Structure 1
Amino acid sequence: MVLTKLGTLYRKWENWILPALFVLILLLLLGLRFDYYYDLNDDVLMKDILSGVYTGAFESRNVQMLFPLSLILSFVCRIFGTSYVYGLFLCVCQFGSLYVILYRSMRFVTKTMGKATLGLLESLLFAALLLPQLVFVQYTVTSGLLTAAAIFWFLTGKKAEEEKCAGGFLKKNLPPVLLCILAFLLRPEMLILLLPLAGVAGLWKWAEERPVFTKKNAACYLGVFGLILAGLLIGQAANGIAYGSAEWKEFFRLFNARTEVYDFKTADILKYEENKEFYDSLGLTEEEAALLGNYNYGVDDRIDAGLMERISAYALEKEGYFGKSLREGIWIYKARLSNTPGLDFDAEQEFPFLLTEAVLIVLLLLAAYLGKRAALLWQLLLFGGVRSVLWMYLILRNRVPVRISHPLYFAEIVMLAAWLLHYLKEGQFTAKEKLSARRWLNPVYISVILLFVTAFSLLPRSMEKTGEEYASREWINRTDTAARVYYRSHPENLYLADVYSTVQFSEKMFRDGETHLGNYDLLGGWLCKSPLAEKKLEAFGYVSLEDALVNGENVRLVSLKGESWEWLEAYFRERGLVIRVIMEERIPGGTEGNELEVYRLQKEEIS
């Protein structure tokens, strides 16, 4: 009797339960094999801001994500008194996105065995493509996965003609709208990058309506777009209000100019000798310009928003908005499509995405051919055109890191996979009367077999690469872990680290859950000179980094073993101060050959 009731309950909720099982299995296997890491120290700093580690208070503004979301996360951190909140949020979003894709796929299969096969296939593909991103978590990637899940939900939903009114269609598509808004609040740039692909998905589906152009269809499809746009505008408006003070506006002028200089321009712009005339016109000496080159510009109070904007304008004038010519960009784009090694991207890392995408396009063409659906040709041409524009933009802007390229690839794959499911269902190839006498010609079987072969061929290397990266991070981050222990054991000091000495460090997501004020910071970085950075310095009795270095008795400097501080001594000497940087001790417990050293500043009288 009990088994009968459980069986009935399972059949009722099968489409919810099976995806949950596959996601939980994936989560369990990864958790047993690896610990979850923040991919970059950007996420570590955002976590520290939200959880009180940075300033000693649970801050609701963490600069990188929009205010409504950071407000909620900081509030939850305050309630539970742990820094785990941010990491848990990212993991829930990532695995939740995979769950959404699995759940929406179940409606295309009727029998339990078919659902289980499809769930297994998709889970294997997730692991083959996204294993590093699932273990080494980064908020930009998370935003991309949320957007991909939203596109998949929309494409696998019912047509407008199947709903009685536009309101029903909008209600059914409220989840993808909310996913897009959440992705935007988490990382606005990623959602905006993927929005054109979402627009292509909308055109694909709208074109399937019969008739196409009706008031109801316009209300349905434009209504979904309108809801997304309204959510984005509300989120942006709330963010503008939250950062509306003069101090925050001044910081964002600096932040935006810094982003243009450091993220989109070549390093040659920051070299003094090659740009001497320009830096002289700014009144910057070679010693002061060196602070820009090593990213420790927080040392100099003169480097403010106005000066950074002038550097940004100079970089724009010298290199242009796009860092590469159109001809060069086209050549690089073709090389990426052909997975040519030796360029400024990891061809081995991108191969799984390119192969999966190529397999899906071949399967789509086969399904369309057998189903006599010529419309696929213009749909793929539109898709190819839009994706080419997006990739060309990133290439020409010199901005194609893995955390951007891989979510973009995944969104493309999700779109193609959703449309393949749509074509297979619309063609009713699984119906007995439609089956070929030679069953191997059935596109459903071909799709399943070919995609399983693809997943199994890619998965071993994905596991191997993730294992290698995990071992590397464990080795590198022993130094960072030792440093955090050392800082806590000397609470009387404020430790200021050279930016590039710490850029390689990340952190385990669920390490200690600390929320108390950390007595360490960087000499530069994206949060430098912000109201939050000033608040942190005030907690230690200083008004700026320069004030701390000149007047602080309890200030210590930190850098990797062997790094020179001559640039800092030269900077102060040029300003009429004799300050020597003297090695005090090496932080114990670090990785051999990658240790951090602590330095004290000795002030001397000018003879």
Structure 2
Amino acid sequence: MAFTKMRILYRKWENWILPLFFVLVMLLFLSLRFDYYYDLNDDVLMKDILSGVYTGSCESRNVQMLYPLSLFLSLACSILRTSYAYGLFLCLCQTAAFFVIVYRSMPYARKTAGKIMLGLLESLLFMALMLPHLVFVQYTVTSGLLTAAACFWFLTGEKAGEANGAGGFLKRNLLPVLFCFLAFLLRPEMMVLLLPLAAVAGIWKWAEERPVFTKRNAACYFGVFGLILAGLLAGQTANGIAYGSPEWKEFFRLFDARTEIYDFKTADIRNYEENKAFYDSLGLSEEETALLGNYNYGVDDRIDARLMEQIREYSLERQGYFGKNLREGIWLYKARLRNTPGLDFDTDQELVFLLTEAALVVLLLLAAFLGRRGAVIWQLLLFGGVRSLLWMYLILRNRVPERISHPLYFTEIVLLGALLLRYLQEGKEREEAKTPARRFRNPLYVSAVLLFVIALAGLSRSVEKTGEEYSRRAIVNRTDTAARAYYRSHPENLYLADVYSTVQFSEKMFRDGETGLGNYDLLGGWLSKSPLAEKKLEVFGYASLEDALIRGENVRLVSLTGESWEWLEAYFREKGLEVQVVLQERIPGGSEQNELSVFRLQKMEIEDGQ
């Protein structure tokens, strides 16, 4: 009797239990094999801002994500008194995205064995494609996963004609609307990049309605898209209000100009010799321009929003908005499709994405051919056109890091996978009537076998490469861990680090959960000259980084051992201040490959009038 009740209960909740099981298995594997890392030092700094490590209090504005979400996370850090809140949020979002995809797939298999095989296939593919990003977590990737899951939910849902009116259709699609809103708050640029693919999903589904053009269908589909746009507008409006002070507006002028110069333009723009006439016209000396080249521009109080905007305009005149011409962009796009080695991407990792996407396209064509569904042609042409435009934009802008390209690939695969499930479901009844001897020709079995082969091969390589990166980070980050321990052991000092000496460091998500004020900062970077950076310096009694370097007796400099500080000595010499950067000691406990050293500024003399 008890067994029967359990069986009935399982049958009732099977479509929830199996996805939850696969999620738990994935989490168990990750927790036993790896620790979670923040992928980049950007996420580490965002965590420090939210948790109070940066300024001494949990800040509700962290620049990179939109205010409503940063406010919520800062409150969570404050209430829980741990910096784990941000890391947990990212992990929960990624897990929720995976759960939604598996959960929405379950109805496409009738029997338990089929559901298990489908869930297993999706789990293997998800790990093969995204394992590095599940271990080395990054907020941009997380935003992309949320958007992909939203598209999958929408595509695999009921049609408008099957829902209970426009209200019922909107109600059934509130989760994808929420996911899109959350993705936008987390990383607006990533969600906006994927929005055209979400529109493709909407067009695909709307075109399946019969009849297509009715007031009800328009209300349903424009209603969902309208809710998404309303959410984006609400988030952007709230963010604008939160950063509405003159100080923040001034900073974002600098921030936006800095982004264009450092993220989308080549380093040649920041070279004094190649642009001497321009920098001379701005009144910037070679020593001051060097601060732009090494990203330590926070040292110079003269480098402000107005000056950075002038450099941006000059860079646009010299190099244009796009960093590549159309001919070069088309060649690079084709090279990516062919997975040409020797370019700026990991061909091993890209191969798994490309094979999966190609397999799904072939299987879609097969399923459509056997089911006599010619609509797949225009669907794939629309998809190919939109994805080509998105890729060409990224390539022409000369900005295709993995944290952008991989979520884009994944969203494309999710869309194709959802479309394939719909085609297979429509053709399943027709194929079931055929004799068992011919069932091997069923695209359902062909799809499963082909994708299983790709998933297993890809997962093996993905685990290997993730393990290699994990071992590398463990060595590299020993230095960062030792440095932070060193800073804490000398609370009387303020440590200011050379930016490029620290970019290689990341941090384990769940290392110590610290929330106390950190007595360290960078000499530049994306947060430099912000109200938050000024607030941090005020805690230590300084008005700016330049003020701290000139007046600070307790200020120490940090860089990789062997890195020269001649640029800083030359900068102050040009200002009339003779200083020497003197080695104080090497930070013990780090790795030999990237050892950090501590320096102090020894002031020699100040000329009259300075």
TM-score normalised to structure 2 length: 0.99
1:125-140 matches, within 5 Å, as 125-140=125-140
For structure 2, the 5+ residue unaligned runs are: none
Deviation at 1:429, TM superposition (A): 4.5
Match of 2:209 in 1: 209
The one-letter code matched in structure 1 to 2:508 is: K
- Distance change in 2, residues 1:571/1:520 (3 Å): same
Aligned residue identity for 2:350: E
Deviation at 1:437, TM superposition (A): 4.1
Q: Distance in 1 between matches of 2:349 and 2:449?
A: 24
2:542 & 2:187 partners in 1: Cα distance?
A: 32
Query: C-alpha deviations, 1:425-483, integer Å up to 9, x for none?
Result: 12235752156741110111111111111111111111100000000000100000000
Shift of residue 8, structure 1, vs aligned partner: 1.8
Contact 1:430 1:444 in 2 (8 A): no
The amino acid of 1:560's aligned partner reads L
- In structure 2, distance between residues paired with 1:573 and 1:430: 83
Q: Which runs of 4+ in 1 moved over 6 A?
A: none
Which residue number corresponds to residue 367 of structure 1? 367
CA contact (8 A) 2:16 2:103 kept: yes
Residues 104 and 156, structure 1, Cα contact 8 Å, conserved in 2: yes
Q: Is the 8 A contact 2:288 2:571 kept in 1?
A: yes
Report if aligned partners of 1:436, 1:442 keep a CA contact under 8 Å in 2.
no
1:351-386 deviation per Cα after TM superposition (whole angstroms, max 9, x unaligned): 110000000000000000000000000000000000
SS at match of 2:585: strand
Counterpart in the other structure of 1:477: 477
Q: What does residue 463 of structure 2 align with?
A: 463
1:428, 1:434 within 8 Å by CA — same for their partners in 2?
A: no
Partner of residue 14, structure 2: 14
| CA deviation profile, 1:160-184 (whole Å, cap 9, x unmatched) | 0112311100100110000000000
Residues 362-441 of structure 1 mapped to structure 2, 5 A cutoff: 362-429=362-429, 432-434=432-434, 437-441=437-441
Structure 1, 344-353 or 497-506: larger mean CA deviation: 344-353
Find the counterpart in structure 1 of residue 171 from structure 2. 171
Does 1:552 pair with 2:552?
yes
Question: What CA distance in whole angstroms lies between the structure 2 residues aligned with 1:552 and 1:7?
Answer: 72
**Secondary structure of the structure 2 residue equivalent to 1:438:** helix
Structure 1 distance, partners of 2:472, 2:179, is 34
**In structure 1, the residue corresponding to 2:94 is in which secondary structure?**
helix
Deviations 1:496-554 (A, max 9, x none): 00000000000000000000000000000000000000000000000100000000000
Please tell me whether residue 259 in structure 1 is matched to residue 272 in structure 2: no
- 1:399-428 CA deviation, whole Å, 9 max, x = no partner? 100000000000000000000000011223
Opposite residue 394 of structure 1, the aligned amino acid is L
- Determine if contact 1:435/1:442 at 8 Å carries over to the other structure: no
**Residues 28/430 of structure 1: CA separation in 2 closer, same or farther (3 Å cut):** farther
Please give the secondary structure, in 1, of the residue aligned with 2:345: coil
Q: Give CA deviations for 1:547-580 in whole Å, capped at 9, x if unaligned.
A: 0000000000000010000000000000000111
Measure, in 2, the Cα distance between the counterparts of 1:264 and 1:435: 59
Distance 1:586 1:384 in 2: 54
Single out whichever of 432-441 and 505-514 deviates more from structure 2. Answer: 432-441
Q: Could you tell me which amino acid in structure 2 is paired with residue 577 of structure 1? A: L
Is 1:234 matched with 2:234?
Answer: yes
3-state SS, counterpart of residue 592 of structure 2 = coil
By how many angstroms is 1:2 displaced?
A: 3.0
Distance (Å, rounded) in 1 between the aligned partners of 2:458 and 2:581: 51
Which residue does 1:274 correspond to in 2? 274
Contact 2:494 2:556 in 1 (8 A): yes
- Which residue is equivalent to 2:539? 539
State the partner residue of 1:46.
46
Worse overlay, 425-434 or 29-38: 425-434
Do the aligned partners of 1:55 and 1:532 also contact (CA within 8 Å) in 2? yes
In the other structure, the counterpart of 2:454 is 454
* Equivalent residue number for residue 340 of structure 1: 340
Q: Distance in 2 between matches of 1:471 and 1:372?
A: 51
Note if contact 2:499-2:523 (Cα within 8 Å) is conserved in structure 1: yes
| SS at 1:605 equivalent | strand
1:61 equivalent in structure 2: 61
* Equivalent runs, 1:181-330 vs 2, <5 Å: 181-330=181-330
Is residue 523–residue 545 contact of structure 1 (8 Å, CA) maintained in 2? yes
Alignment correspondent of 1:70: 70
For 1:514-525, list aligned pairs within 5 A.
514-525=514-525
- Residue identity matched to 2:522: L
8 Å Cα contact 1:534/1:544 also seen in 2: yes
CA distance in 1, matches of 2:195, 2:284: 42
SS at match of 2:525: coil
Q: Residue 374 of structure 1 aligns to which amino acid in structure 2?
A: G
Could you tell me how far apart the structure 2 residues matched to 1:258 and 1:435 are? 66
For residues 500 and 430 of structure 1, do their structure 2 counterparts lie closer, same or farther at Cα, with a shift above 3 Å needed? Answer: farther
What is the letter of the counterpart of residue 441 of structure 2?
L
- Percent same amino acid among aligned pairs? 77
Q: Quick one: distance in 2 between partners of 1:250 and 1:136?
A: 33
State the match for 2:96 in structure 1: 96
State the SS of the aligned residue for 1:61: coil
Distance change >3 Å, CA 170–CA 435, structure 1 → 2: farther
Identify which range, 336-345 or 145-154, moves more after superposition: 336-345
Question: Using a 3 Å threshold, how does the CA distance of structure 1 residues 429 and 328 change in structure 2: closer, same or farther?
Answer: farther
- After superposition, the Cα gap between the structure-2 partners of 1:269 and 1:490, relative to the gap in structure 1 and judged at 3 Å, is same
The Cα of 1:606 is off from its aligned counterpart by 4.9
1:29 partnered with 2:40: no
Name the counterpart of 1:569. Answer: 569
CA contact (8 A) 2:431 2:442 kept: no
Distance 1:353 1:212 in 2: 33
Separation in 2, partners of 1:432, 1:147 = 35
Determine the C-alpha separation between the residues in 2 that align with 1:564 and 1:244. 40
For 1:492, the equivalent position in structure 2 comes to: 492
Identify if the C-alpha distance between structure 1 residues 606 and 56 changes in structure 2 by more than 3 Å, giving closer, same or farther.
closer
